[in-house]
Structure 1
Amino acid sequence: MPHEDRRNFSIRLTIFKAAVILVFSAQAVAFWWFQVARHEEFAARADANHLRTISLRAPRGPLLDRDGQVMVQNQQIYIISILREQTDDVDATLERLAGITGADLAAMKEAVRRRLRDPIYRPIPVIENATKVQVVRVKARQIELPAVLVQEVPTRLYPDNRLAAHLFGYVGEVNEAQLARPEFATLSPGDIVGQSGIELALNSLLMGRDGARYVVVDSRGREIYLEGEQAPVDGQPIKLTIDLDMQKALEEAFHFYKFTGAAAFLDPATGDVLAMTSLP
């Protein structure tokens, strides 16, 4: 190889080596900058952002009469809850929430007191069936209320005139005594179950399976992005032997004639209960 070519090759090799050294040096500096110099900053960001699991209540199955007419169904309402993990002062948060919404402060404190043994990450409802005005006010001040959660959830809608109230029964939050029973062993405080009547007797069928939303939130409780979602599964619709029109006629007759006592209409061919009532 001619002397001039060897010289040019040596120069190019030196430049190449210098470039490689420069690239690796830059990578080393960048590594040091992000992993050492700014370690505490990025660690704080990682700690500040965390995953929040928001339960999605499953609608209960509707109750239908023998012809498929809906007697008991669901409606959507707003619930305003407190996230204790997002506040160092629950009382101060409740006081601010009461001032914004006009809700009863004592009632909200009592709602929290009843659920103090719940896991700290589980929302505690403090305003049930919130009005649209209350919801708008809270959402408008959400930055000031990182520990407050607004949810739209399904709840039971019964006939306005309390038709067959003794038959349908009602639902409510599962209580401690129920949680100790095998049929409620998989439930958690705050879950909604049947408390009497058909709602209780057929609770396992009427209850659906709750879903969940998984969202990443920052240190102020603001949602950054949705990590995932598991849709709730609706409860089963239940068709009863009751005839809605006959049930209405029976109860109207009792009220009109001011009867007291009990009565039932049966299908003589099958023994099906077509209507039943009891007053008072």
Structure 2
Amino acid sequence: MKNIRKQNRKRHANRDINNWPRNVDSTRITHINDGELDFYRRRAMYSSVVLAFFFIILITRLWYLQIQQGDAYTALAENNRVRHLEIAAPRGNILDRKGREIVTNRPSFNVVWVREKNRVDDALLKKIASILNIEISELLARTRKMVGTPGHIPIRLAEELSWDQVAYIENNRMELPGIKIEVVPQRVYHYGNLASHLIGYLGEISPKELTSPSYAGYKSGDMIGKMGLEKLREKDLRGEKGRHYMEVNALGFEQRNLKGLEPLPGNDLQLTIDVDLQQTAEDLMMKDNKSGAVVAIEVNTGRLLVLASSPVLELDKFLGGISTKHWKAMLSNPHHPLVNKIVQGQYPPASTYKIVTAIAALAEGVISPENSVYCPGHYRFGNRTYRCWKKTGHGAMNLKQAMAQSCDVYFYQVGQRLGVNRIASYATRLGLGRKTGVAMEHEKSGLIPTSEWKLRRYKSPWQEGETLSIAIGQGFNLVTPLQLALMTATVANGGTLYKPGMIEKVRDPDDHIIDQFEPTVLDRFDDQGSNLEVIKESLIEAVNGRRGTGRRAKLENIIVAGKTGTAQVVRLKQYKHLKEEDIPYKYRDHAWFTCFAPAQHPEIAVTVLVEHGLHGGSVAAPIAKAVLKKYFGQRANKPKQ
């Protein structure tokens, strides 16, 4: 049996050998098989290395995402589940010097639409338009602005809903899918348009403002100050927004309310302005539709008590955005309500400037109080005759008489002796021809001319005859009402020019004072005490003397010192034959009156400008008198401590 098996194996082996190719070496076959084996081994090893490399990368990435960045991605995931809406903060209140509220806040109800299906629902908009009694075209215009935005972002359809409209929408919420009531703080003006140019107004932030670094952190739709203190003290008044957190579904729509963060109100501004005095000034300017400005200031501190520009701005027209109709009406108004005449109006100071000329003349020794000048009603200089306002002349005039009766001929001659440059140097030290630094927008510097200025501006030399016009406040001279008030206060207090201020205190929501007014001295006339006393006596005579031009500002128990001025707008010979009231409005003279009281121990200075008011003594002086009377009446009625 064993032999048979051996024979079979041998037979098979021989058969395989016999089938080999004749030219094949058996040793070579063995080597080929070993090479192929090594190749497959190497390929398996390389594949294992590559797989191991990718596994290492995958594990490293998983470690980075889950361990290193786990908190960040957890927060992102949470944000996909929890959303927040910002809640506008109530702006800070604005108060007067006695703590009376001028501007505060109240809740305003707006209607917003959250588009669940992210499409415009015409039937729903028609129903809302009917409820709100507005044109559907207005609602469609608002929705078009939000085309392409996610449906969970609300569209504000209307502002300032009435209580009846709010109640109806709340009671019919099931029939108004996606319609909600939004409550936001709205400004309340307790005294109407009082101090409107000072307070300013709010408006929605513009795309251009959003790109400004000054408004970093603001978003589209935010309300910001557009003018006045609302703009200049935006950082104080704004406050910090709150947040309303909500749980949302995969589409971003609200499912459940979560705990939120309450907004922090802005800081309160307490002004130096006195509501009663401000109201008195504005009421008198509004009478007969006067245009101009009234400024009252504490002479010993620089605190501003009245800042009235007329006509006032209608602040309620700016709530929610002013209409094109009202904006165009203001632009076309000949009284220019958009101009803050307190600091933006520039006018010839007229005879009020004689105060400057007199101070310069006394300081430079050009005149003495007793020197007299004869006034025949005109003064001949060169080939021109300069007229006095009194055609028949004043006769012999000393300084006190010339100031009281506002004699032009006297100051023509004094100005000629001084020269324009010496007059200008004293005017500048008194605060004219330069910005005061008050916290009001677009303040103008006015103009106090010099010979160098004219050469630079007109490329022609100064003419001596021009000095005569400058000496009585005409010619190139331009001042603002605030500048003239500061000049008057400087004369009243003995020579100290204060920087005007209007913010008494700034308080945070916890009633802590974070800033308050401190008097700031800009300039001093330390060596002009006796000369300023002479000027005071002259100004007392101007109001209380028998022939004084400011007699209509006289008070019974308080001695007032003041000066009138009638600023010529343009010299038109064709209107000389007409009565003053028949002269076209835009060609009439401006009316000035500036004063202080009590004359011997001054507390308050008042300056009044009435544009095209014709005469300072008859039009501007009574307004100043009313403000003074109110001021001293308050003091007399103040209860004793």
Cα distance change, pair 52–141 in 1 and its aligned pair in 2 (3 A): farther
More displaced 10-residue stretch of structure 1: 94-103 or 72-81: 94-103
Cα shift at 1:149? 2.0
More strand by share: 1
Cα distance change, pair 135–115 in 1 and its aligned pair in 2 (3 A): same
Counterpart CA distance in 2 for 1:243 and 1:209 is 29
Q: Which letter maps to 1:157?
A: V
More displaced 10-residue stretch of structure 1: 162-171 or 134-143: 134-143
SS of 1:110 mapped into structure 2: helix
Give the 5 Å matches for 1:134-213. 134-159=165-190, 161-213=192-244
Cα distance change, pair 73–179 in 1 and its aligned pair in 2 (3 A): same
Counterpart CA distance in 1 for 2:134 and 2:83 is 26
Counterpart CA distance in 1 for 2:209 and 2:94 is 23
Query: Are positions 1:275 and 2:296 aligned together?
Result: no
Cα distance change, pair 117–87 in 1 and its aligned pair in 2 (3 A): closer
Query: Are positions 1:110 and 2:147 aligned together?
Result: no
Percent pairwise identity: 31
Query: Are positions 1:226 and 2:257 aligned together?
Result: yes
Counterpart CA distance in 1 for 2:88 and 2:153 is 13
Q: Note the alpha carbon deviations across 1:113-149, whole angstroms, 9 max, x for none.
A: 3455766543222110111222222222323433222
Q: Which letter maps to 1:199?
A: E
Aligned Cα RMSD in Å? 2.6
Q: Note the alpha carbon deviations across 1:198-217, whole angstroms, 9 max, x for none.
A: 10111111001111212235
Alignment correspondent of 1:78: 109
- Of the three residues 56, 78, 89, the one matched with 2:119 is 89
Alignment correspondent of 1:33: none
Cα distance change, pair 58–110 in 1 and its aligned pair in 2 (3 A): same
Q: Note the alpha carbon deviations across 1:26-65, whole angstroms, 9 max, x for none.
A: xxxxxxxxxxxxxxxxxxxxxxx96453332110000011
Cα distance change, pair 53–279 in 1 and its aligned pair in 2 (3 A): same
TM-score (norm 1): 0.74
Cα distance change, pair 52–79 in 1 and its aligned pair in 2 (3 A): farther
What is the number of equivalent residue pairs in this alignment?
231
Counterpart CA distance in 2 for 1:122 and 1:248 is 45
SS of 1:205 mapped into structure 2: helix
Alignment correspondent of 1:235: 266
Unaligned runs of 5+ in 1: 1-48
Alignment correspondent of 2:277: 246
Counterpart CA distance in 2 for 1:236 and 1:71 is 14
SS of 2:185 mapped into structure 1: strand
Counterpart CA distance in 2 for 1:127 and 1:278 is 33
Counterpart CA distance in 2 for 1:53 and 1:144 is 26
Cα distance change, pair 248–160 in 1 and its aligned pair in 2 (3 A): closer
Specify which structure has the bigger relative contact order, considering alpha-carbon pairs within 8 angstroms and separated by 6 or more residues. Answer: 1
Q: Which letter maps to 2:129?
A: A
Cα shift at 1:232? 0.5
Cα shift at 1:89? 2.2
Alignment correspondent of 2:500: none
User: 2:89 touches 2:266 (CA, 8 Å); kept in 1?
Assistant: yes
User: 1:101 touches 1:138 (CA, 8 Å); kept in 2?
Assistant: no
Cα shift at 1:225? 3.1
